[in-house]
Structures are given as C-alpha cells and as structure tokens.
Structure 1
Amino acid sequence: MRETKENLLGSYLMDRRSKLDPAALGFSLGRRRTPGLRREEVAQRANVSATWYTWLEQGRGGAPSSNLLLRIARALMLTDAEREYLFLLAFGRPPEVTHNTVESVTPRLQRVLDSLDSSPAYLKTPTWDVVAWNRAAALVLTDYGEVEPDQRNILRLIFDNPYMPNKMPNWESDARFVVAAFRADVARAGASTASKALVEELCAKSQEFRVMWAENTVSGTYGEYPKIVAHPIAGPIALEYSAFAVDGRPDLGMVIYCPATPADRERVLSLLEGEYFEKGTGALRITPSSS
C-alpha cells in the first residue's frame, strides 16, 4: 500500500496499459499472465528503452522529459484529460498547450448559446475568431453571418471596421482591453505563431493597434465597468462581460454579455422582436421577425 501511494505515476501507467487490447494494436496474444500490454510493448510503441520504461513504472531513475512523457501518452492512447493527469502526476503541472484549428461547433454548444436569449454570446478560438453566436449577439454586437468567415475576428472588427468606433463610446479603453486579453489568450493556448499573420496585418492597417500591441500589456479581466454599445436603433446598452472555458473544448472560449440593468435587458428584448442587420455599409433596416 505504501509503494502505491508513493508511486502514483507508476501505478497509473500500469493501470492504463492493462486497459489496452494487444490484438487490436498488432501484438500476439500468446501466453499472457496479465491483461493489457506488456511493459516492453508500451516501450516499443513509445520508441523508448524497455529497461527505462520499466524503471519509470517502478519509480526509479527520476522524472522523464516532457517529450518522452508525451510519447508514452500516445503509446497508451490517453485522452486529453488522461494526458493532463499523467503530467500532473509526473511534474505537478499540465502539459504545454498547442494550438489546433477549430473544425466545428457541436449542436449542443449552439443550443447553449441560443438558450441565452437576452444575453449576446459567442464562441471564439484562441486567436479570437468567432465561430458561433446567438441571435442576441447578431442584433446587439455584430451580425457575424453577414461577415465573411475569414473576417469574423474580434480584432479585425474593432480595428479594421470604420463604423465600430461609432458603436463603442469607450472605444479606446475597450480596444486596449481586447489587445491585452488577446495577447494573454494566444500565449496561454500556444497560438502565438498562428496569430502572427493577423498581428502583422493589423499593425500594417491600424496605427492604433500598432501602438497598443507595442505596449506589451497583458490582461485577463475586463474590469468592473460594463461595456457600452451605442446601438443605432435601441440606443445605449450597458453589458457586463464574462468569459468562460468550454468543458472538453480547450480550443474554444465562451463570451457572454449580460445586460447590466433591467432597462438594458428591455432594450435587447426590443431588438429581438424584429430583425436588425448591417451589410457593412452602415445602412440599417428593421423587418418583422419570422421566428
């Protein structure tokens, strides 16, 4: 009992390899005394020494490198959550994050957005591309459906849209927060390289962005004051900003803007009674809702 408690990493490795099917992974069933893979088979799949892997399970020889632990995680076919737990056992920290392109948003996540009927909400990637949104977000913030998919980026909308300052009375302070929070998000998600082209593009297009980016400010919170949207139909709407991680989707973050007061909620609801949209020219129109 004492050995298991002091060697949690080894116990976890043994448990994970016992769950694998040797035949499915191309190994002969032969004569096996225990279920799952043998130590030498895990070592073969991870391309490491069988002796070294044996020592690792036995708690001998010190901690492995991150690279070796990642190879063992792949050899054991660990899920993202299991791989994170493996790193926590070995190093007391999760593995370094790597940026992956978002491929899709599940209907379940879209239903979560749609359930927030009076709160504009959207899902964004670590590089702040908007990939899903609800109707309130389209009516209050931006009709993302009218924006080309490769242009649905929060930074682009703020710094490369001549109409945006008219919608944001506190444009400078809001823009500074966006730049500072974006810098933190891409670093946290390992997406600095993936965001390089966007940063270079905006530095070339916007002097304001270039200056703010050069300040190297990092922030993770919006602050205590609500965001004000100067809506051309409903008037000023105060919104409280909140950001959340999406369980099981480290490639996504959810942003929700809750109306700050009952009066602000009534303004949002008044928009939901009709259809408001913008074609990128500043022209606005209201038509009866068909929903």
Structure 2
Amino acid sequence: MKGFISTPSNKTNFREIINSRNLIYELIRRDFIVRYKQTGLGIIWAIINPGINIILYIFVFGLLVKIPTPEYNAPYAYVLISGILFWGLFSNSMMVSSDALINNMHLITKVYFPRLSLCIASVFVALIDFFIAFIVFIPLSVICLTEFIFLRFFFLIPCILITFMLGCGVGCVMAVLKLKYRDIRHMLPLFNQILFFSSPVVYTLSIVPDNYKIYYLVNPLTGIIELSRWAILGAGGVNIQALVCGLISAVVIMLAGIYYFISNDGVIADYE
C-alpha cells in the first residue's frame, strides 16, 4: 500500500485523487477479481446478465406487447440492445458505487485515504463490465444489420463518457446517503426501477405522447440512448436538444455529487 495513503485533511482535493491513482488501480483490480472469483463462469457473467435481460425484454415487449419502433429499420432486438447496454452501464455504476463506502468501512476506519477513490474505482469496474458486454453484443448487431455506418460508431464515445459521469455523480450521493440513512438501501432499487421505465430503454421516444416528451428531454439518459441507437443502427435521428440537456445534466450531477461526497468526507468514518 506504499504511496497510496495521503495526509488527512478536512476535505479531499483534486491533487489527492491524482496522487491516489495507484490506489484506484488496485481497488479496481481487487473489486473486479472478487466479483468473479470462485464462480464457474467467471467474467462470462458480464455477458450473461445483460443477455438474459435482453431475452426477457424481447419476449415481453417485443413479442407480447409488440412495442413499435417505426423510426428504425431493424428488428426490435437490436433496438433494445443499445438501450439495455447503456442503461446497464448507468445502473451498474450507480448501484456499485453506492455500496463503495459500506463495503469498505473496514479500510475507512483504519487508515486515511481519499474516500472518493472507492467510488471512482467502483464506477470503473462497472465500465469494464460494460465493455465486456459491448464487444460481444455490438459486433453481433453490426454483422446482422445492413445499414451500419462505421464512422457513426465514434459517436458512442460521448455516450459512454456522459453515462460514466451520470453514474459517478449519482453514485457518490447515494454512497453518502446510504451511510446516513439506512432506508436509502431499500429506496434505491425502487428509484432505479422508476428511472428505467421513465427512460426510452425498452421503447423509443417516437411512441411517447407529445405532452410528455418535455419530461423525457430533461432526462439525461434519453439523449444518450437515442444517440447510441442512431450510431449503431444507422437509422433514426439525433435529438440535439435531449443530447445537450444530457451533457449539461451529467456534468452538473457529477460535480454536485463529488462536491456532496467531499463535503461529507471528514465524517464518513463516524457512520460506522
């Protein structure tokens, strides 16, 4: 652990986070190994989990409900994949980072280090899971689609960055709230479910009534998912207004989340 520990202060500063990059790397490595250690399928679970969700949603919403996707010249399964992958990145980032403090209290109470490192490491582990699923499902979609345009693929980069910032920001807030208020651990899954169905994950923005579209435009996930579908499927369109709102919201949420976390950094150990 040499080189990881910094001097205690009232608030974590940016320099401490930079100096703790080796610690963050070790935390990422530890969390990733622990997640799949002693499991028969190992990292394949990173593919199985979103895969099962995709199959279930295809059956329910594609075959039973028959949700229309008129703006995409592609089977519903491919429309769903792009939504599920980016939703999974956000949801997984938020959930694992919200547990970062509770799961590491044995370290927090023994030695000082920038506690924000725990949340950052957790989000990066979720990002690794995303890329594992991404390199399996996206090439499969590309092979089966006829209107794929390679240059559009680069537009997935801002989708990943914005989703990363959202997950990090919300996760930082939830990590502190889980320590302060134990009820949050029961409320968070409910919040996650509400956000899932209020985002165009299993459906597209085109079927949302005009009276409700304003609420979707302020949802930062709307622009991300719509852009990812445009980039992958080569059809549909990019809602610039939703994308700009998503970017601004992501930056604000991340900065606000980190600020809230840092402002409570000095008392985190007291909630053991």
The TM-score, its normalising length taken from structure 2, stands at: 0.23
Q: Which has the higher helix share?
A: 2
Bigger RCO (CA 8 Å, 6+ sep): 2
Which of the pair is proportionally richer in strand?
Answer: 1
Q: Looking at CA atoms only, which structure, 1 or 2, has the larger radius of gyration?
A: 1
